[in-house]
């Protein structure tokens, strides 16, 4: 079995502008996330950032990516719409997509969900406790029935996303809120996972348990099958190629071999 | 109980340019769809078209709409992105949305799904038979276990939409294909339904059974509760207003009362 | 519109044997639940108990019930399997079913779920806070974004039920757990809702907000359409009645008009 | 990676009593299904039949099974309820379960679904065409967008099962019906798949494409994680072990260390 090719997209803004964040993640959050992914065999991880040409997400780079992880917060608006569409179409082809923490408002995640993805929040360094609600889901492999982060930002329901395929984790917060902190969806051939924790002023991506979840999620999101080459294509099936013999009847809009409207 | 306020959006292109379509729908498809909706008590229906200012979809018009039905085909690309966003946000607030036939590729439907919404198609006037797969679903109220349209365009799987909340109808086609022809989703507070038939060169919207489905769908999609005023809002919950007493700990990005990033 | 006919099934054991419970619910929990249901127009409510012949659930009584609410705890094992099957088949026909609190282990609920329905629990009178995760769901109509019960038994995840159609509420517990406290499913033509609170030693069914949820749930669970007369029936479609002309081919197991195996 | 241990349960009645079936499956249908599973590396397959003690499904045999495939038709009623419960509990622990064709009415499948699992049927040797509705689902790996069986029994909707996690295949039938012929569910830690074809008077289990689907399904259904030891257990969490410090308040039903009701 060949390695899964993960790519970590980092916004890389607060690491450059905020001393607290820079001290926790001196090489950038994306680099630390990539280290978590490669802490066990079977996953290779590269990183790209907002500041690169095409935000690092060229056609070639995406074509060589099995699972994309996305961390962004301060600069969602700086991500070019053309690149967002490129990412979304790559997901439809079969690339996995994992949205991390404040990426609930990242453009590609919002595009894939079709909902506002809004929530409540509070930055108080409070305790977050994750509960498994779906034991033996692949993303929960090897995890205890609950685990904690002593300091995290709070995200509270209602989280405005579509009903998921499956809910994997729900978080309890010290200040009194709850949040569905791990959920799965499929979009085209692409598996999508949202994982809540990861505020930049806390050392969340230095926690081994978070690494375990992320590696599980990459393995789950990886679609081993061949890509859908052109997921937007709506092919015409000519009458003479119908699987059951039929005769054309009634008036038509389209001439033979004509493309459909888009 | 007050009437449900339906609005039928018609592209109104082929009715003006194609004699076959004009003969079947001399007042426009949208007008005939509206007549189906008002054939029983409880629903009022207005119509607007692509050609009107704002495509007829001003803030005021949308605010007074409970359920929007959308028929488009040739001119999906002519719908302004700003109006699309306005429609989508109104759905999130609570307006129902019913996509008809070729509106599988309409911009608002694609935005709400987050998928390419592609499919196979053939224009041969073949027989389509609808089967109930979810008996006693509200959208199937009063319908037989199957019904037919003698002449319809074929749409074939795979239909690239997210797994629905519920599948209501599946179609059998004479030429050998199948299609999930009635499916439901929720997006924010808005109920969304896709209903497959309605090719403009056939008298589909003159069939009583189609009227029954559409009226059922409008009743189902109508959300009787108050709108979500601002579905995109992500409010901060100040530490001092936390429901359980907590103390602020650790470093912060945001000053007191500061807005989050978007 | 005629009233919805609710029926509250009460185990009625602890009300007779435990002074605390008897003091809170001197007429029985079932009576108090019925009072909540009829506090607004549109619902009539009867009560039956375990101790009656057929546990009060005769064919006639069930045939006249639109939505059945079930509260049981100490005596799940005393419910006759024959009555359980009768209830389950009535749900398949179209009767709504609402399982309350410890009815997570009630026989009809376990039968409808097909899972163990197990959970964690603690009886400490701690605070429970309910969060809406699905704003404008009919079961959340008129409710604030969260509400509290100051004293409740804790139920903790993982709650071993199938992934629901929709999650409506998630509970936060003072002692550190979370629970999906309101979930919906469909079983045949019957709508099923589980609602978590209702421990017998606390005055939960005296809280107006609980009454609001229960009335909403009854309205949501009520299926206005005609019953499925015989949901277990698997009818043969004779070749000569096929909707498309086909000829019988190949060997057969069943003679003409013969019943299928069951 | 170690092999997945599949077990094929065969009713083995018609193979002994019906010459047509015996000629197609001289070693029994279960044996032929097992051959399909082991046609590629990675799966080992054993067989057991109804006629063996415990129908071949002892605690030991089930404990050594990763995925159970079930084919039954004429003798559903002969399967002992005690064995059914044993199978169902093993699924909850994590064993995969694949119900084949007429096993829609098999006791373990009905128990796992919680619905009547009824459908329409016709035995006419007509053509069945399977369409992928979920491209790149693991169960569709390596398959064309559609495939056919020239002679099969017809099963028609409405198929009375719960809304699935995902629909993988939908069948078109020559006589005019449709059927959701591949669907997935999770029950506890167990993955469940229903696959429609397999009537005993046709050589369905001699078709390579059916083998491909079954091997895919076994791989998908196999849960690589450790079993849930006791899925029916509902553990008490003592107050003094609460994760957040709480004090016991209010009256209690249960003494310290007492078991809950079941």
pLDDT tens digit sequence for C214-257? 999 999 999 999 999 999 999 999 999 999 999 999 888 877 66
| Cβ contact, residue pair D151, C249, below 8 Å | yes
Q: For the segment D29-85, what is each residue's pLDDT rounded down to a tens digit?
A: 999 999 999 999 999 999 999 999 999 999 999 999 999 999 999 999 999 999 999
Neighbours of B75 (CB within 10 A): 16
Reported confidence tier of residue D262, pLDDT bands at 50, 70, 90? confident
Determine the pLDDT at residue A98: 98
Q: CATH code for D4-114+180-221?
A: 3.40.50.880
Instruction: Read off the pLDDT of each residue in D90-107 and give the average, rounded to a whole number.
Output: 98
Determine the pLDDT at residue B248: 93
Whether chain A has a CB inside 8 Å of the CB on D241: the answer is no
Architecture of domain C4-115+181-221: 3-Layer(aba) Sandwich (3.40)
Instruction: Identify whether the C-beta of residue C215 lies closer than 8 Å to the C-beta of residue C43.
Output: yes
Determine the pLDDT at residue C63: 98
Phi, psi of D85 (to 5 degrees): -65, -35
| Cβ contact, residue pair C135, B186, below 8 Å | no
* The pLDDT of residue A259 is above 90: no
Which residue of chain A has the CA closest to B245?
A175
Give the CATH fold of the B4-117+179-221 domain.
Answer: Rossmann fold (3.40.50)
Determine the pLDDT at residue C257: 67
Instruction: Read off the pLDDT of each residue in C167-183 and give the average, rounded to a whole number.
Output: 98
Q: Which of B11, B116, B236, B243 to mutate to test the interface with A (most CBs of A within 10 A)?
A: B116
Query: ipTM beyond 0.85?
Result: yes
User: How far apart, in whole angstroms, are the C-alpha atoms of residue D215 and residue D211?
Assistant: 6
Q: For the segment B139-159, what is each residue's pLDDT rounded down to a tens digit?
A: 999 999 999 999 999 999 999
Instruction: Identify whether the C-beta of residue B130 lies closer than 8 Å to the C-beta of residue B171.
Output: yes
| Cβ contact, residue pair B14, A253, below 8 Å | yes
Phi, psi of D184 (to 5 degrees): -120, 150
Determine the pLDDT at residue C207: 98
Q: For the segment A56-101, what is each residue's pLDDT rounded down to a tens digit?
A: 999 999 999 999 999 999 999 999 999 999 999 999 999 999 999 9
* The pLDDT of residue B254 is above 90: no
What lies within 8 Å, CB to CB, of B82 at 6+ separation is none
What lies within 8 Å, CB to CB, of C87 at 6+ separation is C57, C62, C68, C97, C108
Percent of chain A with pLDDT over 70: 99
Q: Which of C137, C157, C186 to mutate to test the interface with A (most CBs of A within 10 A)?
A: C157
- What mean pLDDT value characterizes chain A? 96
Phi, psi of B115 (to 5 degrees): -135, 170
The neighbours of chain B, by the rule of 3 or more Cβ pairs under 8 Å, are A, C, D
Q: How far is CA A16 from the centre of its chain?
A: 24
Residue C249 burial class via C-beta count within 10 angstroms: exposed 0-12, middle 13-18, buried 19 and up: middle
Q: Which residue's entry shows tokens 């001197």?
A: C26
Architecture of domain A4-116+180-221: 3-Layer(aba) Sandwich (3.40)
Whether chain B has a CB inside 8 Å of the CB on D166: the answer is yes
Residue C121 burial class via C-beta count within 10 angstroms: exposed 0-12, middle 13-18, buried 19 and up: buried
Whether chain B has a CB inside 8 Å of the CB on C243: the answer is yes
Gap from A142 CA to chain D (nearest CA, Å) = 8
Percent of chain D with pLDDT over 90: 95
Q: For the segment B89-134, what is each residue's pLDDT rounded down to a tens digit?
A: 999 999 999 999 999 999 999 999 999 999 999 999 999 999 999 9
Whether chain A has a CB inside 8 Å of the CB on D135: the answer is yes
User: How far apart, in whole angstroms, are the C-alpha atoms of residue B127 and residue C57?
Assistant: 47
Q: How far is CA A189 from the centre of its chain?
A: 13
* The pLDDT of residue D135 is above 80: yes
- Helix then strand count (H, E) for chain A reads 7, 9
What lies within 8 Å, CB to CB, of C221 at 6+ separation is C67, C96, C97, C98, C190, C191, C192, C193
For chains B and D, CB pairs below 8 A equal: 60
User: How far apart, in whole angstroms, are the C-alpha atoms of residue A66 and residue A43?
Assistant: 10
Domain spans of chain B, in order of start: 4-117+179-221
Instruction: Identify whether the C-beta of residue C168 lies closer than 8 Å to the C-beta of residue C139.
Output: yes
E strand segments, chain A: 4-10, 43-49, 67-71, 96-100, 120-132, 146-156, 166-173, 178-187, 190-195
Instruction: Identify whether the C-beta of residue C131 lies closer than 8 Å to the C-beta of residue C172.
Output: yes
Determine the pLDDT at residue D23: 96
- What mean pLDDT value characterizes chain D? 96
Take residue B225 and report the two structure tokens written for it. 């509760």
Q: For the segment C138-162, what is each residue's pLDDT rounded down to a tens digit?
A: 999 999 999 999 999 999 999 999 9
Which contiguous run of DSSP H or E holds residue B89?
helix B81-93
| Cβ contact, residue pair C225, B141, below 8 Å | yes
Determine the pLDDT at residue A250: 83
User: How far apart, in whole angstroms, are the C-alpha atoms of residue A125 and residue B246?
Assistant: 9
* The pLDDT of residue B257 is above 70: no
Q: Which of D133, A228, C93, D191 is nearest to B164 (CA)?
A: D133
Whether chain A has a CB inside 8 Å of the CB on B172: the answer is no
Three-class secondary structure of residue D190 per DSSP: strand
């Amino acid at each position: 079995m060949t390695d899964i090719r993960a790519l970590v997209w980092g916004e890389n803004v607060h690491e450059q502008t905020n001393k607290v964040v820079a001290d926790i993640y001196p090489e950038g959050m994306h680099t630390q996330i990539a280290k978590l992914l490669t802490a066990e065999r079977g996953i290779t991880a590269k990183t790209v950032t907002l500041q690169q040409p095409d935000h690092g997400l060229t056609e070639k780079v995406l074509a060589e990516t099995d699972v994309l992880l996305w961390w962004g917060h301060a600069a969602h608006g700086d991500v070019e719409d053309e690149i967002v569409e490129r990412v979304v179409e790559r997901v439809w082809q079969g690339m996995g997509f994992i949205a991390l923490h404040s990426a609930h408002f990242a453009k590609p995640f919002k595009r894939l969900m079709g909902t506002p993805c809004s929530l409540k929040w509070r930055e108080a360094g409070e305790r977050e406790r994750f509960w498994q609600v779906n034991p033996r889901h692949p993303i929960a492999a090897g995890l205890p029935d609950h685990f904690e982060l002593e300091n995290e930002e709070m995200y509270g329901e209602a989280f405005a996303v579509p009903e998921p395929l499956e809910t994997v984790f729900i978080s309890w917060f010290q200040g009194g809120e709850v949040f569905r902190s791990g959920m799965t969806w499929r979009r085209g051939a692409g598996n999508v996972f949202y994982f809540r924790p990861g505020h930049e002023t806390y050392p969340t991506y230095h926690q081994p348990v978070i690494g375990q979840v992320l590696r599980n999620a990459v393995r789950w999101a990886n679609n081993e099958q061949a890509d859908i080459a052109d997921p937007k294509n709506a092919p015409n099936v000519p009458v003479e190629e119908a699987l059951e013999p039929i005769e054309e009847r009634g008036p038509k809009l389209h001439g033979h071999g004509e493309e459909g409207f888009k």
